[in-house]
Structure 1
Amino acid sequence: MTEHTVAIDDLPTRIDAICAAFPEVTRRPSHGAPTWFIRDKKTFVTCWWQGHHDHEFPHLWCAAPAGAQEALVAADPVRYFRPPYVGHRGWIGVRLDGPVDWAEIAEVCEEAYRAVAPRTLLAKLDSA
């Protein structure tokens, strides 16, 4: 397990290293937070590294496949939560305070990418 704490200011860089590995991904601010887009249009991950609204801890909002939000929140309600604004669409919130399993975060980011990306980019990802 690759579990450890990362300095808050380094979180966007760490998430960028994960998300930049996916085909046709760009990063730019959205609503004041580093956000990763597919083909510069579709959001799949946002990093609130200094907290957001009632969640005053660093966290991600990630797109997720159907049913994942409920399963993850039920399995680990300390780490996962239903984020505001996008939670009703099945997105998940992931806390990044304390020890973080970066292999697990990479999986969550890949699932977010897969939930949003078109088939042509999924084929590129799978062939890499």
Structure 2
Amino acid sequence: MAHPQMFDDGDPVLARVRELALALPDAGEKVSHGRPAFFTTKVFAYYGGAVKVDGEWVQHEQSVMLLPDPADLEALRQDDRFFVPAYPGPSGWIGLDLDDRSDFDEVAELLEDSYRRTAGVRRVARLDASRS
């Protein structure tokens, strides 16, 4: 059974996340479990997430889920803008709530960190070459 679409394709926050994620070398987008997922060979970010609170699902519709550098994870968890998403959270993923006033330079850095953890050596080398 297919998952229902859990996002608004006209969402301007999604458009900004999409622009940043797809600017990374060989990045693509697919819908996974009803949400936009950004990937190379592995997913490095999802748009939207959820947590379970007292047995009820709480949606974070305008958010991005990422795989941060492990050295940064505890500090991110202490920041109220972040949440531990239901399924990927135990594997080190973190969610960041967004709105149109979010710091998208920070979002770009977090996307890049997650990309670096999943994209492979050649793609990361291409990214580094494009930055210099």
TM-score of Structure 1 vs Structure 2, range by shorter chain: 0.7 to 0.9
Residue by residue, what CA displacement relative to the aligned partner does 1:68-117 show, whole Å, maximum 9, x if unpaired? 2211122x1x2112111111111111001473111111111111101111
Where relative contact order (Cα < 8 A, 6+ residues apart) is larger, the structure is: 1
Does the Cα contact within 8 Å between 2:14 and 2:62 map onto a contact in 1? no
In structure 2, what is the equivalent of residue 5 of structure 1?
none
Q: Compare CA radii of gyration and give the structure with the larger one.
A: 2
How many Å apart are 1:57 and its aligned residue? 4.4
Q: Specify the code of the residue in structure 1 equivalent to 2:58.
A: D
In structure 2, what is the equivalent of residue 55 of structure 1?
59
Tell me, in whole angstroms, the C-alpha distance in 1 between the residues paired with 2:68 and 2:30: 20
Q: TM-score, normalised by structure 2?
A: 0.79
Q: Which runs of 4+ in 1 moved over 6 A?
A: none
Q: In 2 relative to 1, CA 80–125 (structure 1 residues): closer, same or farther, beyond 3 Å?
A: same
Q: TM-score, normalised by structure 1?
A: 0.81
In structure 2, what is the equivalent of residue 65 of structure 1?
69
What are structure 2's unaligned runs of at least 5 residues?
1-9, 51-56
Residue by residue, what CA displacement relative to the aligned partner does 1:33-84 show, whole Å, maximum 9, x if unpaired? 111011xx31010001xx643134421111122132211122x1x2112111
Identity of aligned residues (%): 33
C-alpha RMSD of matched pairs (Å)? 1.7
Tell me, in whole angstroms, the C-alpha distance in 2 between the residues paired with 1:117 and 1:44: 8
Tell me, in whole angstroms, the C-alpha distance in 2 between the residues paired with 1:61 and 1:90: 10
What are structure 1's unaligned runs of at least 5 residues?
1-7
Tell me, in whole angstroms, the C-alpha distance in 2 between the residues paired with 1:19 and 1:98: 17
Q: In 2 relative to 1, CA 23–56 (structure 1 residues): closer, same or farther, beyond 3 Å?
A: closer
In structure 1, what is the equivalent of residue 46 of structure 2?
46
Does the Cα contact within 8 Å between 1:57 and 1:97 map onto a contact in 2? no
Question: How many residue pairs align between the two structures?
Answer: 115
